[in-house]
């Protein structure tokens, strides 16, 4: 519970749980990008073919890559780049969906590392049904819906498998998710290998790919995205993802079912004691997570011009794993996932700009993402410490008078300022590091059950 204001009895908005989550996410992002910039500098200094000007270009692209408009003369130019921004939203679509998938499972106390497999199953369902109905001459709209649903249902069923193992046999979902990922990769390859009709043999240079859905006309409408971002791949899929995210937020916070899911996540045994069917909820949560990840795949491939390389049995799609940082950065909040998804795809675009405009390569953005995930592992702790600090001052036991020392400590904590970029510049926290060095009580996050018991 954050501190309540004496006058109004409400929490100041900048001190609420949500705001604290945003601060810690922003701190993680800043540190992550700083690490990226440091790597750019160090590598630039070590490599003889990168000049100081090249290093400066690299740093600017790391932070502002999405606004890059290429080179004019020898200088990099920046400005509004409709293609980049549109592609950013387009690539954000599957990330938002897989991020939601991970976030919803997290709320139920499950770590869904199987989004990659569910994503693949969704790909298989959508592409197969879309192509099949497209050839059969079914009206485009109906075919679109069927293709989307086919992917989603398949993904949901696939996601339910780790849920079943967890609920009935109490096997750690991490290990079953990893196994189902690789089984899915083999199954999907097997399916497309066995069905020659789906393979793109007509276009040269596209051997090994599945026929894109634009060839049969089953594509997502643009929904004004082509007007806003001319020349980009953006389409209505992004809006659909946003709507689904909002729906998930409503489901998790405003419905009984969402409450039951969160109760299972907070304490499975307590939830069971309160009469909640924990097994059902665990299975359903994983199934929903599977549906969401698969929906990401469906929206991605229903954009029409994306191609799927079918021989994927040795490689899992990156979108599946990138859902994890998206969810973590958003602190598992469905609305936050939209923004963190966009941010992640912005980093991707920056990486691509780096690759084409400088001597660096796109993997720098992966490093930044990984660093952010690493930091977000203890940003949870950071949040716990912060809210505990606030609680020490006023809340906790409402009847107990806080001791003067504690009040003083809480006041001290609040007066130290950290500048947060963007619109906020409020008194927020003590130094991040200092807080970490304080030893809090056990930080038991939702997913820490660890191992099967």
Partner 1 sequence: MVFLIQQTMLYAVPLMIVALAGVCAERSGVINLALEGIMIFGAFMGVIFVRVFQQAGWTQDQGQIIMIISLLLTGICGIAFSMLLAFSAINLRADQTIGGTALNMLAPAIVMFFIYMIVQQNTMGMAEGGAAGWFMIKPQTFGLPKGYSWGPIIDLFINKVYLTTYICIIIFVIVSIFLYKTKTGLRLRSCGENPQAADSLGINVHKMRYLGVGLSGFLAGVGGFTFSMTTANMTSNGDVAGYGFLALAVMIFGNWTPLNIAFGSILFGLFKCIAATYSTLDINGDGVFMLNELGISPYVYRMLPYIITLVVLAFTSKNSRVPKAEGIPYDKGQR
- Contact residues toward partner 1 (CB under 8 A) are 39, 43, 47, 111, 113, 165, 169-172, 174-176, 178-180, 182-183, 186-187, 189-190, 193-194, 313-315, 321, 324-325, 328, 360-361, 363-364, 366-367, 369-371, 373-374, 376-378, 380-381, 436, 440-445, 447-453
Task: Measure the CA–CA gap between 268 and 281, rounded to whole angstroms.
Answer: 10
Nearest CB to partner 1, comparing residues 111 and 132: 111
Nearest CB to partner 1, comparing residues 222 and 391: 391
Q: How far is the CB of 380 from partner 1 (least distance, A)?
A: 6
Q: How far is the CB of 82 from partner 1 (least distance, A)?
A: 29
Q: Could you tell me the two tokens for 327? A: 């969810």
In this structure, are residues 355 and 72 in contact, taking their beta carbons and an 8 Å threshold? no
Task: Measure the CA–CA gap between 188 and 182, rounded to whole angstroms.
Answer: 10
Nearest CB to partner 1, comparing residues 75 and 196: 196
Q: Per residue in 164-196, is it b (16+ CB within 10 Å) or e — as a string?
A: bbbbeeebbbbebbbbbbeebbebbbebbeeee
Nearest CB to partner 1, comparing residues 16 and 186: 186
Q: How far is the CB of 49 from partner 1 (least distance, A)?
A: 10
Nearest CB to partner 1, comparing residues 13 and 168: 168
Q: How far is the CB of 450 from partner 1 (least distance, A)?
A: 2
Nearest CB to partner 1, comparing residues 305 and 361: 361
Maximum C-alpha span of the chain: 79
Task: Measure the CA–CA gap between 76 and 441, rounded to whole angstroms.
Answer: 50
Nearest CB to partner 1, comparing residues 77 and 361: 361
| Residue 306: how many other CB atoms lie within 10 Å | 20
Q: Could you tell me the two tokens for 391? A: 């609680």
Q: How far is the CB of 53 from partner 1 (least distance, A)?
A: 18
Q: How far is the CB of 111 from partner 1 (least distance, A)?
A: 5
Q: How far is the CB of 319 from partner 1 (least distance, A)?
A: 13
Which residues, in sequence order, are CB contacts of 149 under 8 Å at separation 6+? none
Q: How far is the CB of 116 from partner 1 (least distance, A)?
A: 11
Nearest CB to partner 1, comparing residues 251 and 380: 380
Task: Measure the CA–CA gap between 250 and 215, rounded to whole angstroms.
Answer: 37
Which residues, in sequence order, are CB contacts of 247 under 8 Å at separation 6+? none
Q: What is the CA radius of gyration of the chain?
A: 24
DSSP helix/strand/coil, 209: strand
DSSP assignments along 155-187, one per residue? HHHHHHHHHHHHHHH---HHHHHHHHHHHHHHH
DSSP helix/strand/coil, 55: helix
């Amino acid at each position: 519970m954050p501190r309540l204001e004496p006058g109004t009895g409400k929490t100041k908005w900048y001190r609420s749980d949500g705001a604290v989550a945003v601060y810690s996410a922003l701190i993680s992002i800043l540190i992550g990008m700083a690490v990226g910039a440091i790597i750019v500098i160090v590598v630039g200094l070590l490599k003889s073919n990168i000049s100081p000007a090249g290093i400066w270009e690299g740093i600017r692209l790391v932070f502002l890559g999405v606004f890059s408009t290429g080179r004019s003369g020898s200088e990099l130019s920046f400005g509004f780049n409709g293609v980049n921004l549109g592609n950013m939203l387009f690539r954000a679509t599957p990330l938002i969906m897989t991020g939601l998938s991970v976030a919803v499972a997290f709320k139920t106390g499950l770590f869904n590392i199987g989004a990659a497999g569910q994503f693949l199953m969704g790909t298989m369902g959508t592409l197969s049904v879309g192509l099949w109905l497209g050839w059969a001459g079914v009206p485009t709209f109906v075919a679109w819906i069927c293709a989307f649903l086919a992917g989603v249902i398949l993904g949901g069923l696939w996601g339910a498998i780790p849920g079943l193992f967890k609920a009935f046999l109490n096997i750690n979902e991490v290990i079953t998710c990893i196994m189902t990922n690789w089984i899915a990769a083999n199954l999907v390859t097997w399916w497309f290998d066995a069905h020659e009709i789906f393979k793109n043999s007509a276009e040269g240079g596209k051997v090994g790919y599945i026929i894109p859905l634009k060839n049969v006309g089953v594509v997502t409408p643009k929904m004004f995205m082509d007007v806003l971002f001319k020349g980009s791949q953006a389409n209505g899929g992004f809006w659909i993802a946003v709507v689904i995210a909002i729906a998930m937020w409503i489901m998790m916070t405003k419905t009984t079912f969402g409450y039951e899911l969160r109760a299972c996540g907070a304490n499975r045994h307590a939830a069971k004691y309160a009469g909640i069917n924990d097994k059902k909820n665990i299975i359903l949560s994983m199934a929903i997570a599977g549906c969401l990840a698969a929906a990401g795949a469906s929206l991605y491939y229903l954009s029409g011009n994306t191609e799927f390389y079918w021989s994927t049995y040795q490689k899992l799609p990156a979108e599946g794993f990138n859902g994890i940082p998206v969810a973590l950065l958003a602190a598992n909040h469905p609305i936050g996932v939209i923004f963190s998804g966009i941010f992640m795809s912005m980093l991707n675009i920056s990486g691509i700009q780096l690759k084409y405009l400088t001597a660096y390569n796109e993997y720098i953005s992966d490093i930044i993402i990984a660093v952010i995930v690493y930091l977000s592992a203890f940003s949870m702790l950071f949040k716990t410490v912060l809210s505990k600090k606030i609680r020490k001052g006023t809340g906790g036991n409402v009847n107990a008078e806080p001791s003067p020392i504690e009040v003083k400590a809480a006041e001290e904590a609040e007066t130290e300022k950290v500048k947060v970029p963007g619109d906020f510049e409020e008194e927020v926290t003590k130094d991040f590091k200092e807080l970490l060095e304080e030893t809090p009580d056990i930080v038991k996050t939702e997913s820490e059950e660890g191992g099967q018991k």
